[in-house]
Amino acid sequence: MKILIIGSGGREHTLAKICAKSPVVESVMVAPGNGGIAKEFSTSKLDVESNQEILALAQKKEIDFVVVGPEVPLCNGAVDILCEAGISAYGPNKSAARLEGSKAFTKDFLAKYKIPTAAYGNFQEVEPAMQYLESCHLPVVVKASGLAAGKGVIICSTQDEAKTAVQDMLTGSSFGESGKEVVIEDFLEGEEASLHLICSGESYVPLPMSQDHKKIGEGDEGLNTGGMGAYAPTQLVTTEMLASYEKLIVRPTLAGLKAEGIDFRGTLYIGLMLTQTGPRVLEFNVRFGDPETQVILPLVAEDLLPILISSALGKKLPEKVDLKNQSSIVVVLASKGYPESYPKGEVISFPTTQLPDCEIIHAGTDLNSDGEIISAGGRVLGAVGHGENLQLARDRAYALCELIKFESKYYRKDIGHKEFSRK
Residues forming contacts to ligand AMP in the complex (CB under 6 A) are: 118, 141, 143, 153, 155, 185, 187-188, 192, 214, 271, 282-283
**Piece of the chain touching ligand GLY by CB under 6 A; list 32-40, 288-296, 322-330, 384-392:** 288-296
**Piece of the chain touching ligand GLY by CB under 6 A; list 33-41, 284-292, 342-350, 403-411:** 284-292
| Total residue length of the chain | 423
Cβ atoms of 292 and 231 closer than 8 Å: no
Alpha helices in 135-203 (DSSP H): 159-170
Residue 285 interacting with ligand GLY (CB under 6 A): yes
Scan residues 226-245 and list those touching ligand GLY (CB under 6 A).
226-227
Please state the closest distance from residue 167 (CB atom) to ligand GLY, in A: 26
Three-class SS of residue 176? helix
The whole-angstrom separation of Cα 347 and Cα 308 is 36
Residue 292 interacting with ligand GLY (CB under 6 A): yes
Residue 212 interacting with ligand GLY (CB under 6 A): yes
- Out of 290, 357, 366, 419, the residue judged to bind ligand GLY by CB under 6 A: 290
| Binding-residue pattern over the window 324 to 343 for ligand GLY, x denoting contact by CB under 6 A | --------------------
Beta-bridge mates of residue 193: 272
| Closer residue to ligand AMP, CB minimum distance, 45 or 137 | 137
- Contacted by 153, from ligand GLY, ligand AMP, none: CB < 5 to 8 Å by type: ligand AMP
User: Looking at beta carbons, which residue is closest to ligand AMP?
Assistant: 283
**H or E element at residue 328:** strand 327-339
Scan residues 136-155 and list those touching ligand GLY (CB under 6 A).
150
- Contacted by 227, from ligand GLY, ligand AMP, none: CB < 5 to 8 Å by type: ligand GLY
Helices and strands, counts by H and E, the chain: 15, 23
- Out of 36, 73, 233, 289, the residue judged to bind ligand GLY by CB under 6 A: 289
The whole-angstrom separation of Cα 383 and Cα 402 is 10
The whole-angstrom separation of Cα 55 and Cα 35 is 23
- Contacted by 170, from ligand GLY, ligand AMP, none: CB < 5 to 8 Å by type: none
Residues in CB range of 400: below 8 A, 6 or more apart: 351, 355, 358, 360, 383, 384, 385
**C-alpha angle 6/66/58, rounded to 5°?**
85
| Closer residue to ligand AMP, CB minimum distance, 188 or 399 | 188
**H or E element at residue 37:** helix 35-40
Cβ atoms of 54 and 6 closer than 8 Å: yes
Residues that bind ligand GLY (CB under 6 A): 150, 212, 226-227, 285, 289-290, 292
